[in-house]
Chains A and B, each alone.
Chain A
Amino acid sequence: MTTTAAGSLTDRYVAATLSQLPGRQRADIERELRTSIADAIEVRVTSGMEPAEAETAVLTDLGDPARLAAQYADRPLYLIGPALFVDYLRLLRILLVTVVPAVTAGMAIVRMLQGDTARAVIGATVDTGITTAVHIVCWTTLAFALVDRVFHQRRPAGWRPAQWTPAALPELPSRRMRHAELISVTVALVLFTSLILMSPRLGIQETSDGQPIGVLTPWLWDTGVVYAFIAAVVASLGFAYAKHYLRWSLPLGMTGALVNLAAPTMLIWLALTDRVLNPAFVAAAGWASAVPKWINAALVIISVTTVLHTVGEAVRLARRR
């Protein structure tokens, strides 16, 4: 009365459950599960239910075979458990706000140096940014899910999730100050960048037929170096935001330091090779030949100071942790 025909719902249910279990457990679980299902059906049939109806009711009670199999195998029904979730989010956030801007800025610089059009540069940059972000999310999630599963199965002796201490709390009083600092840096940067980009059209000095002579050498535009420079400056602004909104960490600090070094390093190179001022502008303004040299020297000194300050701050922060 309660034996089930081949290919019955029960057979399909048992097969679906077993297919998701390790081989060595299957035979034993199959025997027990079949008996349990048959027992439950028998009780319902004895109390007057149709066998087919009873079978459906029992299997419905047991629920999704995938869920049952996960219970049998003691597999977690989540990707990343509570023990790792906070660390997972933290790392993901740090990677996204550091690596994505760095990679996109790098891509933009390379494309500009190759002399691509603005549209091609923007396209490639957006494309790279999205691809990088997707890769970061995908691989970080995969790594954490694997770690979660390994530790869920067998936890190595003495292992425990990264210990949180109050010392790791972000600092409070400086926050509002840093907020103001951030706003002023942003405003300064926007003005600075627009000044650079507008400079060829500013008519401080004009040619005899009334065309404006740019302060900065046209070589910067011809090679696209000016865009690379602005990209580096924007990237370091991005890092300033990252530093403001995220807790300091070694990877964040290192990336930030590298990003912050890009713009001053470029400026040092430009000043040393005399590729800042437009010779035509110097001539039109009637400056003495020493003036461009002094301006270049001043730029080098400012840049070197910035580099030293960046390195010093990075070391100081790294030491404090």
Chain B
Amino acid sequence: MPDAELVSTHLQELRRGTVVLACLLILQKPNYGYALLELLNQRGFTVDANTLYPLLRRLEKQGLLTSDWNTEESRPRKFYRTSGDGLDLAAILTHDWDTLNDAFHSLKEES
């Protein structure tokens, strides 16, 4: 069994980028920072708050998300939603994920 730290490094490498795809898919329904953080972690996408919040802004800057302030509730909340470009990118990334998944399975079957 490899060293636990080594495993965690490689898992981190492998998961890098999956949070972006998860955000793009989840945010087809508008949501705000903290709720999204909880949702992602519930669904098994481990992400830290200090990574997610800046990431959302970066995706917004890249035009993959749009945002709206909702000031009706007790606290003003910034709701993010996946844009048209974001949906297109999500489709491309999902396709790539599926292709990789198939490739891994065929590798396992061969061995």
Contact = CB atoms under 8 A, between A and B. Distances in A.
A43 B54 CA distance: 21
Interface residues of A, number: 20
Contacts of B38: 43
Interface string B49-68: 11101100110000000000
Given A31-B76, A35-B76, A68-B54, A62 B33 contact: no
A32 B50 contact: no
Nearest to A32: B78
A72 B57 CA distance: 7
Contacts of A36: 33-34, 37, 49, 53
B50 A35 contact: no
A309 to B, nearest CB: 54
Interface residues of B, number: 19
- From B35, B48, B49, name the one whose CB has the most chain A CB atoms within 10 angstroms: B49
Nearest to B54: A71
Given A31-B76, A32-B78, A72-B57, A61 B49 contact: yes
User: Binding site of B, secondary structure by majority: helix, strand, loop or mixed?
Assistant: helix
Nearest to A33: B53
A35 B49 contact: no
Contact of B77 (A35, A40, A61, A63): A35
A31 B75 CA distance: 9
B45 interface: no
Contacts of A62: 49-50
Interface string A230-260: 0000000000000000000000000000000
A35 B53 contact: no
Contacts of A33: 53
A39 interface: yes
A34 B78 CA distance: 11
A222 interface: no
Nearest to B77: A35
23 contacts: A29-B57, A31-B76, A32-B33, A35-B32, A35-B33, A35-B75, A35-B78, A36-B34, A38-B75, A39-B35, A40-B34, A40-B49, A43-B34, A61-B48, A61-B50, A63-B48, A63-B50, A67-B50, A68-B54, A71-B50, A71-B53, A71-B54, A72-B54
Given A31-B69, A63-B48, 6 more contacts: A32-B78, A35-B78, A36-B34, A36-B49, A38-B75, A62-B49
